[in-house]
Chains A and B, each alone.
Chain A
Amino acid sequence: MPIDWTEYQPGEFYDELFAAPGNARPAAEHLTGYLASLGQRELAERQGDAERAIAEMGITFTVYTEGQNIDRAWPFDVIPRTIEAQEWARIERGLVQRLKALNHFIDDLYHDRRIIADGVVPEDIIATSANFLEACVGANPPYGVWANICGTDLVRDKDGTVYVLEDNLRVPSGVSYMLENRIITKQVFPEMFEHASILPVDDYASQLFDMLASLSPRKLDFPRVVVLTPGIYNSAYFEHSYLAQRMGVDLVEGSDLVVADDQCVYVRTIRGLERVDVIYRRVNDTFLDPECFDKDSVLGVPGLMRAWRAQTVALANAPGAGVADDKVVYAYVPKIIEYYLHESAILPNVPTRLLRDEQSRKHVLGDLTKWVVKPANESGGYGMLIGPRSTPEERAAMVAAVEANPRNYIAQPVLALSTAPTLVQQEIEPRHLDLRPFILQGERIWVTPGGLTRVALRRGSLVVNSSQGGGSKDTWVVAVDP
């Protein structure tokens, strides 16, 4: 039975593929026509092929539940999400602008603090930020860049506006799934790629490697780059090993590295110790160095911060970069962009209320059902309250949490996230989604074409995190002939 797209009803939401029922957006025309010709049953079969490929390729993520670590197959929806190349070009400019400004901001915070002196960002926000690291003051990472790898979360509201929801500047993950999603989609719909002009994503690993190599303190032809993982029990272990493999560099654990008396970092090899130049670390700041932060951490390397400050080794992202990844700081990003770049922000923020402000706090706590409340420093959707879906008990708990530590909370209006057709138990239904592009900044700056589209597989759900029942889709940036 062919698919009848007029039956697909996204309702009040902005749909990424359809402007109106049966009326595909230009970037999705080819795709939706092709899917319709396949028919529902064939589509379901391709979904089955994709799921088998995922199981066989061992694409997993790890969930911690009930004290156990379970490797789950990566949930994937076979229907791609499309973005028009022209629209993408604008988003890309916005992302580049934003990361440049954030890196200026971080560098300023750890040096002269001009932005505070000039009264643009209040000092107490930085003073109380859990991610501001005293140990980083005065440090000079290469090119003055602190966040080398950034995963920015974008969402689209009912009227079609694309907003920045979050800047992930610590250890953002998901890029390996973006790459694998494309590999699987090519296997499942090879015909599509012959006819449409879809921007390729597969040079990410070489872009990443070049960026990392550009950070090497020794100017060698072949600097030694390693990926530092917390180990196999980390939810993103698959990604760590995937990226190491794709870049052809070693995947190391803390115990593989040692800092010698010469303040250089060495890796233990079958020949003895060998010098390391660049560490792409996927270990959180405070676990990096037990000498400096968490004394009990076995994930890190004693002395690593000394070596980094002595500039014998580069760390990406630089420790302390997370200070700009605080949801309170987020509210100031448009001002930060104006301050450092003298430009206005290309991509708007979601309107954000800081609950440290008494008036805002009264207003928001007065009726929590209208708001999404988020803690300033959590990721993965943890600790968040979605007002309209919350129970009175959850709201009461949130009121208490906010009153206890107002600095740590922000509130945003509930966005009507955009949707895209998604195959759910063999039926095509609209599901909400977001987009996480990845931006690399070293000597140069580069943005993935598209990114990782995450989709909330439960009907009506707005939570797209894979740890909380989200799935993902391949993302196509499609050039449309005028």
Chain B
Amino acid sequence: MSLLSRVAERIYWSARYLERAETTSRLARVYGNLLLDLPRQAGLKWDLLIRITGCAERYRDLHPSPGADTAERFFVADRNNASSVRSSLAHARESIRTTRDIVPSEAWRSINELCMHVNQELDAETSHRRRYGIHSTVVEGCQQISGLLADTMSHDSGYQFFRIGRGMERADMTTRIIDVAAATLLGRDDLARFDNTLWMAVLQSLSAYQMYRQKIRRRIFGPDVIGYLLKDEQFPRAISFSLRELGGALALLPRNAGPHKKLGDLRRMLATLDVGRLDIPALHQWIDDVQLAFGELHRLIHHTWFEPSTSAAGPSPVVAPAQDQGSAQRQGQTPGSTPGSTVGSTVGSTLASDPGVRPQIGAKV
């Protein structure tokens, strides 16, 4: 029996929000440290992170005269920021809550506990030290849930949507981080002395530092880091790797021709990129194009599998041999004609969509 479209969509979003919560916490943890290491005149502030998540405009609207802690709270704890750690976890919890019949029950318990714990900690007036602790809790909690799903959920189509959501969010986050880091750091002579520290921070925020050192055995150099995060085939948060992961998951789904073709476009964009020859505006333009392509891929995924389709099951092109659990049952189940009725969406189904509509990165830098 095939997976419900609505459930597929919620699983997809639960993966995206879990990944978003995790990366946001990593960013917060790394930058919290970094700010302690750098002199004030370096001019780096939490605002930088808010730019990465694409919420700068919303931040300015909500907080016209920010205090010392405002930006950090906005980034981590603010319910009005749909991309804050707290909101991302809440959305992940809600998506899992509404797919509880499909997702292993331990995953629901884990996300529920994690949310309760984080909310308690965030509500308490916390010291810097404890704030740091929250981020570790979030990263570990999200990892635990991913691991739990990988090991206790059937790797059926539902799980493929989890992989796709995670891959999409990773690619999105990684490109955002590269874009903002490049714009901020490359070509800033006044920051040159901190170059090493700053690029280390970029790597750490994607937990890539150790793997990077093992691979690139020389002094840390900005363009190397960018090249690694874009094109490394073995590091899970690199774009190349994410694309391969997405390809693997798409191949196991029915009716995958459209998304598969778009993924091919993305692969080509990456393959033909020569990082060494790019200047900052060109890199920025390239990332813009990639983000647009990911946006298009998301649209195709939505259109293919999530949108309440009124077309009947039937032969449609499949690019790679799919795990065809339902082929026998599908025979002869095609309704006589296309039902004309479309059903208005219920309040509940809007939960699945992304309330934190994030502007394309190019729109605001």
Closest to A273 in B: B312
The reply to whether B305 and A254 form a contact with Cβ atoms under 8 Å apart is no
Nearest CB of B to A125, in Å:
36
Q: List the B side residues contacting A56 at CB < 8 Å.
A: 109, 112-113, 116
The reply to whether A268 and B346 form a contact with Cβ atoms under 8 Å apart is no
The reply to whether B335 and A266 form a contact with Cβ atoms under 8 Å apart is yes
**At the interface, yes or no: A231 with Cβ under 8 Å from chain B?**
yes
Q: C-beta contact mask, B60-99 vs A, less than 8 Å → 1, else 0?
A: 0000000000000000000000000000000000000110
Bound-complex Cα distance A269 to B310 (A): 10
Contacts A231-B346, A255-B346; A274 near B5 (Cβ below 8 A): no
Bound-complex Cα distance A188 to B335 (A): 52
**At the interface, yes or no: B100 with Cβ under 8 Å from chain A?**
yes
Q: List the B side residues contacting A232 at CB < 8 Å.
A: 97-98, 348, 351
19 pairs, CB–CB < 8 Å, chain A vs chain B = A58-B112, A241-B97, A254-B343, A255-B344, A258-B310, A261-B335, A261-B337, A266-B335, A266-B339, A268-B5, A268-B308, A269-B2, A271-B254, A271-B330, A273-B311, A273-B339, A274-B329, A274-B330, A274-B333
**At the interface, yes or no: A259 with Cβ under 8 Å from chain B?**
yes
Q: Would you list which residues of chain A between 211 and 225 have a CB under 8 Å from chain B?
A: 222, 224
The reply to whether A256 and B348 form a contact with Cβ atoms under 8 Å apart is no
Q: List the B side residues contacting A278 at CB < 8 Å.
A: none
The reply to whether A255 and B101 form a contact with Cβ atoms under 8 Å apart is no
The reply to whether B2 and A58 form a contact with Cβ atoms under 8 Å apart is no
The reply to whether A58 and B339 form a contact with Cβ atoms under 8 Å apart is no
**At the interface, yes or no: B292 with Cβ under 8 Å from chain A?**
no
The reply to whether B346 and A224 form a contact with Cβ atoms under 8 Å apart is no
B interface residues with partner A (beta carbon < 8 Å): 1-8, 97-98, 100-102, 105, 108-109, 112-113, 116, 157, 253-255, 305, 308-314, 326, 329-330, 333-339, 341, 343-349, 351
Classify the secondary structure of B's interface with A.
loop
**At the interface, yes or no: A5 with Cβ under 8 Å from chain B?**
no
The reply to whether B346 and A253 form a contact with Cβ atoms under 8 Å apart is yes
Bound-complex Cα distance A366 to B226 (A): 87
Closest to A271 in B: B2
Contacts A241-B101, A242-B100, A260-B339; A270 near B3 (Cβ below 8 A): yes
Which 7 residue pairs are nearest across A and B when measured between Cβ atoms? A272-B313, A260-B335, A269-B2, A244-B101, A231-B348, A245-B101, A251-B101
Q: List the A side residues contacting B337 at CB < 8 Å.
A: 260-261
Number of A positions contacting B (CB below 8 A): 45
The reply to whether B6 and A268 form a contact with Cβ atoms under 8 Å apart is yes
Closest to B305 in A: A270
Q: List the B side residues contacting A230 at CB < 8 Å.
A: 346
The reply to whether B1 and A57 form a contact with Cβ atoms under 8 Å apart is no
Bound-complex Cα distance A81 to B8 (A): 42
Contacts A270-B157, A274-B330; A264 near B313 (Cβ below 8 A): no
Q: List the A side residues contacting B330 at CB < 8 Å.
A: 271, 274
Closest to B157 in A: A270
Q: List the A side residues contacting B116 at CB < 8 Å.
A: 55-56
Bound-complex Cα distance A131 to B73 (A): 53
Nearest CB of B to A23, in Å:
42
Closest to A264 in B: B335
Classify the secondary structure of A's interface with B.
mixed
**At the interface, yes or no: A250 with Cβ under 8 Å from chain B?**
yes
Nearest CB of B to A51, in Å:
13
**At the interface, yes or no: A102 with Cβ under 8 Å from chain B?**
no
**At the interface, yes or no: A477 with Cβ under 8 Å from chain B?**
no
The reply to whether A262 and B336 form a contact with Cβ atoms under 8 Å apart is yes
Q: List the B side residues contacting A303 at CB < 8 Å.
A: 341
Stretch at the interface among A158-166, A294-302, A461-469: A294-302
Bound-complex Cα distance A357 to B209 (A): 84
Bound-complex Cα distance A302 to B340 (A): 11
The reply to whether A241 and B98 form a contact with Cβ atoms under 8 Å apart is yes
Closest to B311 in A: A272
Q: List the A side residues contacting B6 at CB < 8 Å.
A: 252-253, 255-256, 268
Bound-complex Cα distance A368 to B116 (A): 47
Closest to B332 in A: A275
Q: C-beta contact mask, A331-350 vs B, less than 8 Å → 1, else 0?
A: 00000000000000000000
The reply to whether B313 and A271 form a contact with Cβ atoms under 8 Å apart is yes
Nearest CB of B to A287, in Å:
11
The reply to whether A298 and B343 form a contact with Cβ atoms under 8 Å apart is yes
Nearest CB of A to B26, in Å:
26
Q: List the A side residues contacting B105 at CB < 8 Å.
A: 245
Bound-complex Cα distance A57 to B348 (A): 22
The reply to whether A254 and B2 form a contact with Cβ atoms under 8 Å apart is no
Nearest CB of B to A85, in Å:
31
Q: List the B side residues contacting A253 at CB < 8 Å.
A: 6, 346, 348-349
Q: C-beta contact mask, A53-85 vs B, less than 8 Å → 1, else 0?
A: 001111000000000000000000000000000
Nearest CB of B to A198, in Å:
24
The reply to whether B339 and A270 form a contact with Cβ atoms under 8 Å apart is no
Bound-complex Cα distance A271 to B312 (A): 8
Nearest CB of A to B337, in Å:
5
Q: List the A side residues contacting B329 at CB < 8 Å.
A: 274
Beyond known contacts A232-B348, A250-B1, A257-B343: 13 more, CB 8 A cutoff: A231-B346, A232-B97, A242-B100, A253-B349, A255-B6, A256-B6, A258-B339, A261-B335, A264-B335, A269-B3, A269-B4, A273-B309, A275-B333
Bound-complex Cα distance A301 to B100 (A): 23
Q: List the A side residues contacting B253 at CB < 8 Å.
A: 270
The reply to whether B100 and A254 form a contact with Cβ atoms under 8 Å apart is no
Closest to A300 in B: B343
Q: List the A side residues contacting B157 at CB < 8 Å.
A: 270
Q: List the B side residues contacting A249 at CB < 8 Å.
A: 101
Bound-complex Cα distance A134 to B338 (A): 30
Bound-complex Cα distance A302 to B344 (A): 11
Bound-complex Cα distance A387 to B351 (A): 44
Closest to A234 in B: B348
Bound-complex Cα distance A231 to B305 (A): 21
**At the interface, yes or no: A233 with Cβ under 8 Å from chain B?**
yes
Q: List the B side residues contacting A274 at CB < 8 Å.
A: 1-2, 313, 326, 329-330, 333
Bound-complex Cα distance A266 to B280 (A): 53
